Amino acid sequence: MSIKRSIIFSSLFFLTYALQVHAASLINLEVEVSKNDKTSKNKNVITLDGKKVRVDYLGSEPEKTETTPYLLTLNAGKSWIIGNQDEGEFYCAKVDMKDLFRDLGDIISRIDSFTNAKFTDDKVEVILQETGPEILGYATTHVRIKTTANIKASILVKRFKFNLNKIDDVWYAKGHAIHPAKKRWIEALTHSGYENLDKLSSNVRENINGSILKQESVMKITNLKKNVVDTYARKLRVVSIQELDSSAVAKGTFVKPKCKKIKKSQTKGVAKSMFKEGKLAL
């Protein structure tokens, strides 16, 4: 893995949160991700019903299918089931998110150990906070958060210097509590064991006091020696929030599948692939 890839891997954390509601809800999201001039658009669907949460990653497909990747919890995030594809084969596995994020932290720590990556002058600061527009009937607060850091790394005799500059514009529904499953997710994300990721994730999250309805993030990584800038952007918006009776939730949404038990070594691969695909951002 290249130095630049490892920095992106450890720095690209985009947090989104579903609104907590008392009835069942169906939430549709649109996500647009780009690197330099290449852009992809994807759709996510979150279904909530009490302690049950399912996130379906439709990608560019118009409808959910039997092989649509998903995350499912039936106990408010105490344990999760992952449905995903690996080398063309669809599988599901039971996972503990704390273990999964610790595996992720271990992977990144090993990369840093190989590249001797050092973060300096890292800072997270709020540079704008104001009343935002009404979104889907919710009053919002708009906050702009700036994250910066300098990174030095080396492989054998080669030396590298990078600058990280990330701007997050977030519009959130102030006063709306985070779903218990998401609280456990945040706890796991900020305790991966990888200090740089944990610190930056915690500092960004403490400035967001509600459920996110829209987010626009731009991250620029500058190779200071080559004077080359790579730009990574992500736009997310909640398209619709539909409240339902539990009886109206699509049949099979929360049916617990029979999943195989995967080995510890396999969970590291799952964590790595799902993080790279953006699925662990929820």
Both structure tokens of 253: 């949404």
User: Phi, psi (5° rounding) for residue 107?
Assistant: -60, -50
Number of folded domains that form the chain: 1
Asked if residue 45 lies in contact with residue 27, where contact means CB atoms within 8 angstroms, the answer is: yes
Asked if residue 211 lies in contact with residue 18, where contact means CB atoms within 8 angstroms, the answer is: yes
Task: Tell me if the pTM is above 0.85.
Answer: no
Over residues 146-184, the pLDDT tens digits come to 989 888 877 666 778 889 899 999 999 876 666 777 766
Mean pLDDT calculated for residue range 29-33: 88
Nearest-angstrom CA–CA distance, 236 and 29: 7
pLDDT at 256 over 90: no
Over residues 201-247, the pLDDT tens digits come to 667 777 787 888 999 999 898 988 889 999 989 899 999 999 889 98
Cα–Cα nearest to 102, from 270, 262, 260: 270
State which of 64-68, 107-111, 135-139, 263-267 shows the largest mean pLDDT: 135-139
- Listed in sequence order, the residues at least 6 apart from 89 whose beta carbon sits closer than 8 Å to its beta carbon are none
Supply the range of the domain harboring residue 106: 3-281
